[in-house]
Chain A
């Protein structure tokens, strides 16, 4: 193997540094959400006092907000497709749409949290309250950060800062956004839909 040819040998993954960084971050974040979800599942049905999930969950309502979040992934894809074609105007429209849909989801979560609180569930009521609020709260925080990123990109693009050559920036924001969506699909399935 000594003194083999060198020029053709791979010394890089071929993936852009920033994109690789984002993938690694998302891989790491899987363990983050995985741990919180594990704690939720461990404590499922272990609450000593109510209210219990079946008393509170409003599946139709949360289905709608989950649908809103899923649709935001579609608009995110359209934003990326637009800037890859060089269409800044359309990218701006779809970026803003994505942020609005994300904000709608967060509004739904805020409504849900206050509703649950009115019905007597707080962080310290029981294990359900503890695990539910912390898990979905951290997910909400991720979505909120995503909205901040999208709005920042939107403002930058209004000032002409994002052109076709910068499409990777939108792609990275999209990777993050889709990941947060996928996490919600897992949470929604495991925590809302599959009731023991």
Chain B
């Protein structure tokens, strides 16, 4: 929507203008509610997703406590179903995706030398819609009688398979919260995806050609394309489910001739690109960390980039490997088996490039590097077990067992979560001006690494021994006892490591060792500006001459090929320049409340659809007011 200048003198307009001016005070509540600064939105994304990480983690601990011993009675079957549904949904949609968004927001403009994203208010809209959807989804817990142990949360699994997602099989509003909540999260992701594609394609600093972009920016671009093409597919599946559940349509109703498999096809056509939406940002993060701490350029930069793009394309042609046992026939299964084996190739290329980056480097073992190396190692194990169930025959044995649970936790926890923690340790100094405590970081890494392997490695074995997923208990004569007990011990070890991280964070954010502009001797543009970065990012938009431009400003090779510092190069000089310039006269977009107002409309519509249609027009009115206000208000208020 373009902002069209229309003369306004109404009291309402004056009040809004006043509020926008009040929000210029960045530390006030209004300042946060109205912020359109990509760095602050990144921080909001990061903190919110971490809180949901704790919620999803507590759900996992409850599940593991129930499964610690045979015939457990900590949870009843109904609670167990609801908790594993919320655990999966939370970790995918409320943790890994938004935490990746936090990094996109914090870093992409800084890495490409821009002052903000292309559409700052759309960015705020993404965040508030995400938060609305996330709170809405979790509000479902309280629709049961929570104090007597009856949870109202959805119970159909994070994949919500038809026909079990239909009203006759899950009465109550749990799955309604699920389908409407994810719909909102999808809108948030879509808005973010559009925004980052435009930002990356159009807002790069002079000289920053596509192949001079940091790998993290490339992975953001690929992820954003996956988002804008995958989200509409799940949106349609969820709309179809919504019409079935709320208005008696027949999309998945076998009694009327509907085909429940349609759901699985659509869900996994979204779901497999989604897997790469979850992992590619972490790949981008470790591709920044490894060269910095190996003090070498990334080995085979074009290969890493093209592998990422190849993964993006191929991720659309593998979804049936989630559905081998549904009886699609040998031809379909073989074709998708082959494509699934093939997608391991570009992923393997990346793993070898990361190893090549470390090989022969002068490695500094710091917390970010440990998490990055942990990501490579754990993701490789998860990738290999993934190849084992690309084989159709082998998958028939593994389908719906704990072996699959082990596989995707190695990929999504060992891969994505480790990578994201690496990113937190790496960029914490940039956004706070202080280091996280290194010793606690090491302890955190080892505790988490050991806890993670204790939890998920035994699941390979319990799975191969035949333990099915999603059972709320098991009897003691199956030979699964020891493996389950170890998994539970591991889960609590992970919890301890996360608790330590929180302590580290709380202490370091106030009293951590001070970090300068370039604490790790970095290679990318964000390290050329002060920590924390000023509101306008770059006092003067940088000009880029090569890949890893900042590194080349600081170091050159002498005649013998040794790397030597450039005299008077690097951060120090850049920093003094900034102090002189001071950034006065740079106009940043004004705060805006319109995105928040529009986002608030969605939960009203969704709640109205479930409980009282009267709320639906209220919600749509809020959305319309938000969008119209947005289109009509100027992006920057005159003083």
A150 beta carbon closer than 8 Å to chain B: no
Q: Kindly state the interface size class of chain B when it binds its partner.
A: 35 or more
Bound: A23/B266 CA distance, A: 24
Question: Measured between alpha carbons, how far is A146 from B2 in the docked complex, in Å?
Answer: 15
Q: Which of B7, B195, B544 contacts A6 (CB 8 A)?
A: B544
Contacts of B92 in A (CB 8 A): none
Q: What does the 1/0 interface line of A12-39 toward B look like (CB < 8 Å)? A: 1101011011001101110110011001
In this complex, the interface size class of chain A, counting residues with CB under 8 Å from chain B, is 35 or more
B229: contacting residue among A15, A27, A126, CB under 8 A: A27
**For B262, what are the chain A residues with a Cβ–Cβ distance below 8 Å?**
39, 42
Please state if A35 and B206 are interface contacts (CB–CB under 8 Å): no
Q: Is the CB of B209 within 8 A of A25?
A: no
Q: Could you give, for residues 223-249 of chain B, a 1 whenever the CB lies within 8 Å of some chain A CB and a 0 otherwise?
A: 000001101110111011001000111
Whether the Cβ atoms of A130 and B243 lie closer than 8 Å is yes
Specify which of B2, B546, B552 is in contact with A172 (CB 8 Å cutoff).
B2
Check if B547 is an interface residue, CB within 8 A of chain A.
Answer: yes
Please report the C-alpha to C-alpha distance between residue A127 and residue B2 in the assembled complex, in whole angstroms: 41
- 7 pairs from A and B in contact (CB 8 Å cutoff): A11-B204, A20-B201, A35-B266, A39-B240, A47-B257, A124-B249, A126-B257
Assembly CA distance A152 to B544 (angstroms): 43
- Is A118 on the interface with B (CB-CB < 8 A)? no
Tell me the complex Cα distance, A184–B74, Å.
55
Is A162 located at the chain interface by the 8 A CB criterion? yes
Min CB distance, B577 to chain A, in Å? 19
Beta-carbon nearest neighbor of B544 in chain A? A6
**Distance of A161 Cα from B228 Cα, bound (Å):** 32
Q: Does residue B250 face the partner (Cβ distance < 8 Å to A)?
A: yes
Taking Cβ atoms with an 8 Å cutoff, the residues of B that contact A are 2, 4-7, 118-119, 190, 193-195, 197-198, 201-209, 211, 228-229, 231-233, 235-237, 239-240, 243, 247-251, 256-259, 262, 266, 543-547, 552, 628, 631
Question: A2 touching B202 by the CB < 8 A rule?
Answer: no
Complex Cα–Cα for A52 and B67 (A): 52
User: How close is B19's CB to chain A, nearest CB, in angstroms?
Assistant: 23
| CB proximity to B under 8 Å, residues A126-176 | 126-127, 129-131, 133-134, 138, 152, 156, 159, 161-162, 166, 168-169, 172
Q: Does A1 reach chain B (CB closer than 8 Å)?
A: yes
Q: How far is the CB of A45 from chain B (nearest CB, A)?
A: 10
Cβ of B205 and Cβ of A11 under 8 Å apart? yes
Q: Is the CB of A126 within 8 A of B256?
A: yes
A131 to B236, CA, bound (A): 12
Contact A130 B229 (CB under 8 A): no
Partner of B250, one of A4, A35, A126, A159: A126
Q: When the two chains form the complex, which single residue of B4, B193, B545 contacts A161, counting CB atoms closer than 8 Å?
A: B4
Residue of A nearest to B199 (CB): A17
Which residues does A use to contact B, with CB under 8 Å?
1-4, 6-7, 9-13, 15, 17-18, 20-21, 24-25, 27-29, 31-32, 35-36, 39, 42-43, 46-48, 123-124, 126-127, 129-131, 133-134, 138, 152, 156, 159, 161-162, 166, 168-169, 172
Identity of the chain A residue whose Cβ is nearest the Cβ of B194 in the assembled complex? A24
B243 and A123 within 8 A (CB)? yes
Residues of A within 8 A of B239 (CB): 134, 138
Interfacial chain B residues near A123, Cβ < 8 Å: 243, 247-249
Shortest beta-carbon distance from A148 to chain B in Å: 8
Most chain B CB within a 10 A radius of its CB, from A11, A18, A169: A11
Q: Return the contact of B259 from the options A1, A42, A152 (Cβ within 8 A).
A: A42
Query: B243 near A134 (CB under 8 angstroms)?
Result: yes
Interface contact A1-B547, CB-CB below 8 Å: yes
Does A2 contact B546, Cβ atoms closer than 8 Å? Answer: yes
Given contacts A6-B207, A9-B209, A161-B5, A124 and B250 within 8 Å (CB-CB): yes
Minimum CB–CB distance for A50 against chain B, Å: 12
Nearest neighbor of A20 in chain B, beta-carbon distance = B198
Q: Which residues of A contact B232 (CB under 8 A)?
A: 28-29, 31-32, 35
The interface residues of chain B lying within 8 Å CB-to-CB of A159 are 6-7
Contact B198 A127 (CB under 8 A): no
Instruction: Flag if B231 contacts A28 (CB, 8 Å).
Output: yes
Contacts of A20 in B (CB 8 A): 197-198, 201-202
- Which listed residue (B2, B231, B546) contacts A169, Cβ 8 A? B2
Q: Is the CB of B243 within 8 A of A17?
A: no
Task: Choose among B201, B233, B257, B545 the residue that contacts A46 (Cβ–Cβ < 8 A).
Answer: B257
How far, in angstroms, from A133 to B229 measured CA to CA in the complex? 24
